[in-house]
């Protein structure tokens, strides 16, 4: 099994416009990865966020990063919402991983 399986079904709602692009970015990287633990998954996502944005993925209210490669137009273009990732996406992905 590949780690990318947990990214197959996308969330119905996102934080900012860059979130779906970050999701797809992670899914593409996960194609070549084997299943990892839930803690390793969270560490990996935070590492990739730091690599792309230059800042840590924290749970501070309203913190976000604008990632140039995810800019595709619109008011929050390229924005990746930390709150969405810490409160929704990472817990969702960890839950899916644990079910595998």
What is the pTM for the complete model shown? 0.91
Average pLDDT along the chain: 92
| pLDDT surpasses 80 at 74 | no
pLDDT at 1: 75
pLDDT at 61: 64
Confidence class of residue 77 from pLDDT cuts 50, 70 and 90? confident
Pure H helices in 1-100:
19-30, 38-53, 82-84, 90-99
Which residues are paired to 80 by β-bridges?
65
Question: Which one has a higher pLDDT value, 88 or 62?
Answer: 88
Dihedral sign for Cα 66, 84, 40, 37, please. Answer: negative
Average pLDDT, integer, range 58-73: 84
């Amino acid at each position: 099994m590949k780690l990318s399986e947990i990214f197959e079904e996308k969330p119905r709602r996102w934080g900012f416009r860059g979130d779906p692009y970050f999701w797809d970015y992670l899914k593409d990287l996960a194609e070549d990865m084997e299943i990892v633990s839930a803690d390793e998954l969270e560490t990996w996502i935070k590492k990739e966020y730091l690599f792309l944005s230059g800042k840590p993925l924290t749970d501070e209210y309203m913190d976000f990063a604008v990632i140039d490669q995810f800019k595709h137009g619109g008011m929050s273009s390229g924005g990746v919402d930390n709150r969405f990732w810490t409160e929704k996406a990472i817990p969702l992905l960890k839950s899916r991983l644990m079910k595998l």
